Amino acid sequence: MAQYDYDLFTIGAGSGGVRASRVSASFGARVAIAEERYLGGTCVNVGCIPKKLLVYASHFHDDYEEAVNYGWNVGERRFDWATLIANKDKEINRLNGVYRKLLGDSGVEIIEAHAEVIDPHTILIGGKKITAEYILVAVGSWPVVPKFPGAEYAITSNEAFYLPTLPERVVIIGGGYIGVEFAGIFHGLGVRTTQLYWDKLFLRGFDDDIRRTLAQEMRKRGIDLRFDVLVAEIAKSSTGLKVILTDGSAIEADQVLCATGRTSKTPNLGLEKAGVKLTSNGAVNVDAYSKSNIDSIYAIGDCTDRMMLTPVAIAEGMAVANTLFNNKPTKPNYQNVATAIFSTPSCSTVGLTEQEAREQNYAVDIFRTSFKPLKHTVTGRDERTMMKLVVDQTTDKVLGCHMVGPNAEEIIQGLAVALNCGATKAQFDATVGVHPSAAEEFVTMRTKVV
């Protein structure tokens, strides 16, 4: 007779939890997973996937406009938000079903309810106590809305995906990647869009050349970017909402979207009662194997606040499965994780920013190029693509690659492989480019700018 009901009990069927559970089951573990909201978690329901569908929708405006100089005569254009949201929801429902089937086919038992940890081996769910040798906390994160008068009138990205109608005017508070992406989405769909950020330049943590270039490009498109501003209050007005800034000025809007960060979804989970240590911002404190201070409790993904990205949560889930049930203690590899911003135009990055390289005392050479994409020589659109390489002078290794421009998200993946192989600038230079493409610029930059 087994000592516990399950070998593994996972709380949260998002990117990380589903992968850890399926892979653990494939190694022969008896696994159950609890999900209180939606199978597939944030990424599938209110994150990466619906976001990218909305980004696609927002690009048609440009496509129609640009088609004219290529000889296309495009007729009357009308956009219907309700059709977009209905079709997006249809795809998400399909994905929820895919996740249900994947878990079922792997032999993982799904329990659709809120779960709480009672002690290092016991979970309370639906009024019932269940025991497991290991508990995996994969509860994700949740949007944070700062406290200021009228904050209750603002929505977060969660609600933005389900707005009943498309607003005419939107104010976005926050300058992280989610705010930037929604600014591009709303603007592309014809919404008058203002984005506010408290510091001098948005996208903190990204290379300064990405931050500056994207700001220029968004402004050229007509997005009203305002930096160094603080929101004092959101008030109701005769036409909707009024965002009042600390300098006394005000912006009228129909919707205000707070994209002001996310925090681990650890409240109401019983972790502290079970003796699990949390960081000051509520994330589960884990070691390199994702183990908490309690030997039987592991945590992965957004709730550990390491890198809030789907592929990272998945890699952490795989590593836990290998560690616990495949006799292969595994630490996830956080080296050169490539990321993209699905802004318009898009951005991508891998490795060190120029600032990080300098802070880490590398002597660096900087290679940078800025050019008009070939497509726009005919469309006439005033848009520049920026690409940048950060190179270690001593070893010639490429430390970082950064890009703003169409298809940046597709181009960066191959460069991440090169960086993980320790590619040098000389090897980039010795690689023959694909012509004509933007990507070839990464192997043809010869002149140092710094």
Cβ neighbours around 225 below 10 Å, total: 20
Transcribe 188-208 into DSSP letters. Answer: HTT-EEEEEESSSSSSTTS-H
Residue 289's nearest CA partner among 133, 115, 136, 116 is 136
Provide the 3-class DSSP secondary structure of residue 448.
Answer: strand
Length of the chain: 450
Per-residue binding letters, 139-168, with ligand FAD (x by CB under 6 A): xx----------------x-----------
The yes or no reply on residue 180 touching ligand FAD (CB under 6 A) is no
**Identified binder of ligand FAD from the candidate list 7, 8, 10, 16, rule CB under 6 A:** 16
Q: Which stretch binds ligand FAD (CB under 6 A): 9-17, 275-283, 349-357, 435-443?
A: 9-17
Please, what is the minimum distance in Å from the beta carbon of residue 340 to ligand FAD? 7
What CA–CA distance (Å, rounded) separates 7 from 5?
A: 7
The yes or no reply on residue 178 touching ligand FAD (CB under 6 A) is yes
Please, what is the minimum distance in Å from the beta carbon of residue 412 to ligand FAD? 12
Q: How many helices and strands in the chain, by DSSP H and E?
A: 12, 21
Tell me the β-bridge partners of 122.
119, 131
Q: Could you tell me the sign of the dihedral formed by the alpha carbons of 419, 425, 430, 434, in that order? A: positive
Tell me the β-bridge partners of 360.
none
The yes or no reply on residue 120 touching ligand FAD (CB under 6 A) is no
Q: Is 435 a catalytic residue?
A: yes
Please, what is the minimum distance in Å from the beta carbon of residue 427 to ligand FAD? 28
Map the footprint of ligand FAD across residues 239-298, applying CB under 6 A.
Answer: 265, 269
Tell me whether residue 15 or residue 336 sits nearer to ligand FAD (CB atom): 15
Question: Choosing from 114, 121, 187, 435, which is the catalytic residue?
Answer: 435
Q: Which stretch binds ligand FAD (CB under 6 A): 31-39, 97-105, 278-286, 426-434?
A: 31-39
Which residue's C-beta sits nearest to ligand FAD? 14
Please, what is the minimum distance in Å from the beta carbon of residue 372 to ligand FAD? 27
Separation of first and last alpha carbons in the chain: 68
Q: What is residue 248's DSSP assignment? A: S
Asked whether the beta carbons of 191 and 165 are under 8 A apart, the reply is no
Q: Which stretch binds ligand FAD (CB under 6 A): 55-63, 68-76, 136-144, 366-374?
A: 136-144
The yes or no reply on residue 179 touching ligand FAD (CB under 6 A) is no
> Residue 99: left if φ>0, alpha if ψ -120 to 50, beta else—which one?
alpha
Tell me whether residue 42 or residue 290 sits nearer to ligand FAD (CB atom): 42
Map the footprint of ligand FAD across residues 310-349, applying CB under 6 A.
Answer: 310-311, 313, 342
Where b means 16+ CB within 10 Å and e means fewer, 26-49 reads ebebbbbbbbebbbbbbbbbbbbb
What CA–CA distance (Å, rounded) separates 45 from 140?
A: 13
Tell me whether residue 340 or residue 389 sits nearer to ligand FAD (CB atom): 340
Q: Which stretch binds ligand FAD (CB under 6 A): 5-13, 21-29, 81-89, 212-220?
A: 5-13
Please, what is the minimum distance in Å from the beta carbon of residue 41 to ligand FAD? 2
Asked whether the beta carbons of 138 and 17 are under 8 A apart, the reply is yes
Q: Which residues bind ligand FAD (CB under 6 A)?
A: 11-17, 34-38, 41-43, 46-48, 51, 114-115, 138-140, 157, 178, 265, 269, 301-303, 308-311, 313, 342
Catalytically active residues, by annotation: 435
